[in-house]
Amino acid sequence: MDSFLASIGQHLFVIFGLIACASAAVMIFSRSAVHSVLAFLFAMLCVSVCYFAQQAEFLGVAQLLVYAGGIVVLFLFVVMLVELSKFKEGGIFQAQAKVAIPLVLAAFGLFAFFFRQALFAAPAKDALTLPAEISGGLDVAANNAQAVSRGLFSGWLLPFEILSVILLVALVGAIVLAKAERA
Amino acid sequence: MQMTLTQTLVMALIQIVAVLAFIFVVVPMLTFAERKVIGYVQVRLGATRIAGGRKGLTGAVNKIMWWMGHFPVISFFRGLPTFMADGIKLVTKEDIMPAKADKFVFWLAPILCMVPAFAVFAAITFYPGVLGVFPTWVPIVGGLPVDGYITDINVGLLYILGLASVGVYGIVLGAWASNSKYPLLGGLRSAAQVISYEVPLTLSLLAPVILTGSLNFKTMSVELATGMSPWAILPLFIGFFAYITCGFAETNRVPFDLAEAESELVSGFHTEYTGMKFGWFFLSEYTNMIVVSALASAFFLGGHYFLPFGFQQFVPASWGWFAQPHLIFFLLKVFFLLFVFLWVRATLPRYRYDQLMSVGWKYFIPLTLVNLFIAGLVRFMA
């Protein structure tokens, strides 16, 4: 049964990856902002299923909890209160197109350049996993949550803390911006 | 014995049907119990008569209910015909959609509310072991043991929290799609409330996680009941009250039901919903109550064991039946907490919106953080 699950995992990964891409496209091309947020939510749920299909259940649930349950709700909260017809009259979306299209193309080119190796080169010899001195004999595949925590809090503590400081800086910046607007 | 794929799927299907049957029996009975319990607490008759004339079927039913009132225990069931009529009304009522509603989202919202509420049950352990064995003559699953849980996910608690946090979309989207002021105001209130109270709720559940060092529902509930040091009783005790209060706020129940405050917002986010679409919102609210009660009883009230808050460790093995885990203990605790939901609704008035927010951010988050610290200390000492 495990072999069947492993093979179905690959197929599920591809199927839900494609659905995620499709809903991301819906998010961009949808006329209504709330429909965009819904498509975004659906894309996030599909990414979570992709993690599950790869048996990374901790990442899958974290994706569900943080993105689907937290961040997209805030998006929805804001979008519901915005009247988009005002922006449509001002032609704000058309004005951005001149700058946005070259930027998107450039970004896409960069991504293609760096990811061509990942797509077309031979697969990596070693699975991406914790070094033995950090995992300490833990069965990483079966104990996702423990493995992630060991990695974050023993192997890569400094980068993790730096990331949290960056988030804090972004938070303070957001508060400063919001305050300046009110004054 | 290794089960084949078909056997695994059929077994899971049987368990799912059993759990769904449990939900669909308990939820309607809960609405009936709500009416009756509140009726008794507030010295009202509850729904003890039905509309109609003095003659014919309705008259006969009313006469029987009047007669039942003379007997102590039977009198509780006097409202039963009203409850049945209520169910029939819910299913057969006309389904109205507002002309300017966003049709797709309006239709999607009750589903988004209901699916996570039901899917959560996949990770809930009703009994930490084998409930029974199918007799060998049963076609596909003959001779196989039935576990007291559908799945035993490694990160079960996180899965439950993740799905519970998705449930808020149903409320917010239903409110927005109705294209009407009161639902929108109710939905916004509800979104703010649920997001705020998710923080102390998760923090209060982290105390059991620290104490056991696991995220697996089964391991946690068994460990918390039996394998704790006596000092762990304190963080479990504080955590229980923090959790159950935040659970009230998460399920939008009185005294935190600001999303559907009748006196201000007609009926809140589901004002424009009728018929069975409203029924699904209703059903998911009560299902969420069961989920909150199940988590509280599994993690804080000793779960499948007799005594709550880790007191079970003082029970000697000589107590026999009371020293073992039983499904009935778990269900009794769940039903008691469901009764507490109704009890609180009958007793407490609704909070004001700013009070609700200040209670959440200024009192519960610090309290649960302190509780988390105590739990860490207990774990460190042990």
Q: What is the DSSP string of A90-132?
A: HTHHHHHHHHHHHHHHHHHHHHHHHHHHHHHSPPPSS-S---H
Find the domain containing B115 and state its range. Answer: 93-381
- Please indicate, yes or no, if residue A109 is contained in any of the structural domains: no
Q: What pLDDT was estimated at residue A125?
A: 67
State whether A145 and B154 contact (CB < 8 Å). Answer: yes
Coil, strand or helix: which one is B98? Answer: coil
CB neighbour list of residue B251: distance below 8 Å, 6 or more residues apart: B285, B288, B289, B292
Mean pLDDT value of segment B314-325: 77
Q: Are residues A75 and A1 in the same domain?
A: yes
Give a yes or no: residue B81 inside a domain. Answer: no
Instruction: Quote the minimal CA–CA distance from A107 to chain B in Å.
Output: 32
Chain B residue with Cα closest to A60: B159
Give this complex's ipTM.
Answer: 0.79
User: Is B24 part of a structural domain of the chain?
Assistant: no
Contact B208, B246 (CB under 8 A): no
Distance from CA of B4 to the nearest CA of A (A): 7
Residue in B4, B8, B158 closest to A65 by CB:
B158
Q: Which of A61, A76, A79, A138 to mutate to test the interface with B (most CBs of B within 10 A)?
A: A61
Final residue in a domain of this structure, among A84, A115, A150: A84
Which residues of A have a CB under 8 Å from any CB of B?
Answer: 1, 4, 32, 34-35, 38, 41, 45, 57-58, 61-62, 64-65, 68-70, 73-74, 76-77, 80-81, 142-145
Confidence band of B21 (pLDDT split at 50, 70, 90):
very high
Nearest-CA residue of chain B relative to A79? B176
Contacts of B375 (CB under 8 A, 6+ apart): B206, B207, B208, B210, B211, B232, B235, B239
Number of C-beta neighbours around residue B237 at 10 A: 15
C-beta of residue B370 within 8 angstroms of C-beta of residue B235? no
Q: Is the pLDDT of residue A83 over 70?
A: no
- The CATH number of the domain holding residue A7 is 1.20.120.1200
**CB A38 to CB B105 under 8 A?**
yes
| For residues B197-226, average pLDDT | 86
Per the structure, the count of domains in chain A is: 2
A64/B165 CB distance under 8 A: yes
Q: How far is B173 from chain A (nearest CA, A)?
A: 9
> A76 with A155, same domain?
no
**Is A124 a member of any domain?**
no
Tell me the residue range of the domain where A45 lies.
1-84
CA–CA min distance B88, chain A (Å):
33
- How many domains does the structure of chain B reveal? 1
pLDDT tens digit string along B254-280? 788 777 766 777 777 777 788 788 888
Domain membership of residue A104 (yes or no) is no
**Does some domain include residue A50?**
yes
* Chain B nearest CA to A85, separation (Å): 16
Which chain B positions have a beta carbon within 8 Å of A58's beta carbon? 154-155, 158
Q: Number of residue pairs across A and B with CB atoms under 8 Å?
A: 83
The per-residue pLDDT for range B81-117, each reduced to its tens digit, is 788 888 888 888 888 888 887 888 888 888 988 999 9
Could you give the CA distance from residue B114 to residue A123 in angstroms, rounded to a whole number?
Answer: 42
Does residue B14 sit within a domain?
no
What is the tens place of the pLDDT at every residue in A124-174?
Answer: 666 666 777 777 777 766 777 778 888 888 878 899 899 999 999 999 998
